[in-house]
Structure 1
């Protein structure tokens, strides 16, 4: 069969992921696959994730058996596409938010630099994983920091060009190691992963925080009228309005929507809203609702219910974990009136929503009881500032005043 060969690699499913364990292959060599097909299930610290492919073709070879632990960026399988044949296998484009994968031995064997390229089966920095062998590709700053902090470079999977270890990789490894030492290796793996990611966020991101109260009486009244005619499974929640308003607001204020990587901000044209969801048994994940700005409120509510159900039953997709461009989090259902979240790298902003409560509110010359929600913004000061953040929150407020137009 003619065509190019693409290496299907272990995707990065979040800033806290270093490796995944192959649970089950849903395809076998010779099977035809289309873009977006789920081909495998991978276990991460946040549970079992369904992994999709991104090119059509046929599975030529499976490289990892079920039960195998694989670092981010390492090849899982080879797919022969219908593209024109090339001299070497092509590397599959990384998912949004993913670190550049290490170059495989197959694709670099004919280049002069092949001797220093990291192996595709290199270990992740987790307990029990094998170490790198041969020469390790690392930046001078990473080597210096590793020497000062006593970090073994052979235990780190690099996120730099060609899989090189950069300074942030060493810092992340050290934070994860310190977390494990502090709480013990018997602690739940998800909590360890969350602790490492949040430690990295607070260390690397200069956060600023804003709070704003919205009068959402118009939203509540509109929801009450609309939901009165619908069966319970079809009713809208205020959360859908909040998520849609954020998705629309980021188009006017794009500095809150995208990724900060390699010392620069990469704005996203898509509004993929990460929704913080509590996982049964403890822990938290924020998978994405894709292209929220293009969805009707009914479509958004249906997808939100589906996302929550699949997240809690362990049927989430890799792309939903990997590519949120901004996150919305709420503890309103728990009675919390305000929350200040931590930005999840490489994102640059998080919007928090509290419980809708009744408050005395000045309307014209009268004080009335109004439905009020406290919204917060956690922003990355490298990309935006408090002035822009205030305008962003004001835009969300403006959109919520006309819920019928969302």
Structure 2
């Protein structure tokens, strides 16, 4: 038997609120299945299961906020016996001659009834909670028509609309709360991590020519962007330079064998997340491009998975599309490096004794001086440059 825990989705997360169960006790689960939805400062995040088995029991009720690491449920592994029911406790000897009046048994809700929050709070279905939040309604002020007086979606829809709270929203995300989370993480980073910075201009003439030739024979939806080449080159270079791929925790630096590149995605209206493209070094360029498009689309509507936020081993951020030619980023702890990529621009460059206009991009590296130094950082940037000169081999 193992515990299904409230995950940590970044150094800025301390707790989360369970908003929905997607699996029922007794139901089989497989690795990668979405078991629950948790509300955090980064929005509603789908929480995955990391083992095969059977969901044995819930340990946390819907609507309850619990710290990171709290067991949410128990999962019985494949081949394990089901937990034996608890034996009834022996009744104490009666102190009086007359037996006590028995309490009425609780009435089970009918099949298909919505899951509701515990009696300690407002009883409401997940759909009702979401609708009430969107309309700015106080659940405690609504009369519930569901089982046990629970507030259901119909109760919210029939209630008069309230004046919405003045909060900035985008794709279901509370941007004010997200900004607080970003501020906390970045403040910690600058306090604790001794940053050093390097920059390097990369000639993209070969990569741009290869990309143009490759895309000429493709439909627009299948065309590659230069960003896919950047991610693959970074991933391949990190296989050699392991000091930039991993996590710095209380017991020191732990390099990661897997390379999960967090790709910074801006949210309309403000805010930023950097979900992971898992095993980036093992993917071809078309797969990387497809995953980039998928992540951007799901960030816009706020449907990310827990592993995508918890797993990045390094982050790549680009403001090239905003016209910025260079950027110096802040490391997101517990990671130990972040690469910034600017806009591709034509600049004069000396090539074989001649001055030519060449497409150049400025790449910057922010490294953690506790783990690496400028010498190693320079080698990393030069290897990324070398890989981009042979785009057909990526």
TM-score when scaled to structure 1?
0.73
Most deviating of 334-343 and 263-272 = 263-272
Matched, 1:361 2:340: no
| In 2, Cα distance between equivalents of 1:83 and 1:262 | 36
| In 2, Cα distance between equivalents of 1:345 and 1:19 | 17
TM-score when scaled to structure 2?
0.75
| In 1, Cα distance between equivalents of 2:63 and 2:210 | 51
Which residue of 1 is the match for residue 361 of structure 2? 373
SS class of match (1:350):
strand
| In 2, Cα distance between equivalents of 1:187 and 1:301 | 27
SS class of match (2:17):
strand
Which residue of 2 is the match for residue 352 of structure 1? 340
Matched, 1:298 2:286: yes
| In 2, Cα distance between equivalents of 1:395 and 1:86 | 53
In the alignment, structure 2 segments of 5+ residues that lack a partner are: 84-173
Most deviating of 53-62 and 373-382 = 53-62
| In 1, Cα distance between equivalents of 2:75 and 2:348 | 62
| In 2, Cα distance between equivalents of 1:355 and 1:405 | 23
Residues 126-170 of structure 1: CA deviation (Å, up to 9, x unaligned): xxxxxxxxxxxxxxxxxxxxxxxxxxxxxxxxxxxxxxxxxxxxx
1:208 to 188, 196, 210: 196
Which residue of 2 is the match for residue 246 of structure 1? 234
| In 1, Cα distance between equivalents of 2:207 and 2:62 | 49
Matched, 1:14 2:14: no
Instruction: Describe the shift of the 1:84–1:33 C-alpha distance in structure 2 as closer, same or farther (beyond 3 A).
Output: closer
SS class of match (2:377):
helix
Instruction: Describe the shift of the 1:32–1:248 C-alpha distance in structure 2 as closer, same or farther (beyond 3 A).
Output: same
Contact kept in structure 1, 2:367 and 2:373, CA below 8 Å: yes
Contact kept in structure 1, 2:175 and 2:270, CA below 8 Å: no
SS class of match (2:362):
strand
Instruction: Describe the shift of the 1:85–1:32 C-alpha distance in structure 2 as closer, same or farther (beyond 3 A).
Output: closer
Matched, 1:77 2:66: no
SS class of match (1:368):
strand
Most deviating of 292-301 and 78-87 = 78-87
Q: CA deviation at 1:280?
A: 2.7
1:401 to 373, 380, 389: 389
1:43 to 30, 39, 42: 39
SS class of match (2:217):
coil
Number of residue pairs aligned between Structure 1 and Structure 2: 305
Which residue of 2 is the match for residue 262 of structure 1? 250
2:26 to 9, 27, 30: 30
| In 2, Cα distance between equivalents of 1:391 and 1:326 | 17
| In 1, Cα distance between equivalents of 2:78 and 2:232 | 39
Instruction: Describe the shift of the 1:387–1:86 C-alpha distance in structure 2 as closer, same or farther (beyond 3 A).
Output: farther
Q: CA RMSD in A?
A: 1.7
SS class of match (2:73):
strand
Residues 257-282 of structure 1: CA deviation (Å, up to 9, x unaligned): 11111141101111100000112332
| In 2, Cα distance between equivalents of 1:36 and 1:307 | 17
| In 2, Cα distance between equivalents of 1:285 and 1:61 | 32
Q: CA deviation at 1:82?
A: 2.1
Alignment of 1:52-201 (within 5 A): 52-84=48-80, 188-201=176-189
Give 1 or 2 for the bigger CA radius of gyration. 2
2:207 to 207, 219, 241: 219
SS class of match (1:188):
helix
Instruction: Describe the shift of the 1:269–1:86 C-alpha distance in structure 2 as closer, same or farther (beyond 3 A).
Output: farther
- The runs of at least 4 consecutive aligned structure 1 residues that moved more than 3 Å come to 83-87
Matched, 1:384 2:372: yes
SS class of match (1:315):
coil
| In 2, Cα distance between equivalents of 1:253 and 1:362 | 29
Which residue of 1 is the match for residue 99 of structure 2? none
Q: CA deviation at 1:327?
A: 0.5
2:298 to 302, 310, 321: 310
Which residue of 2 is the match for residue 233 of structure 1? 221
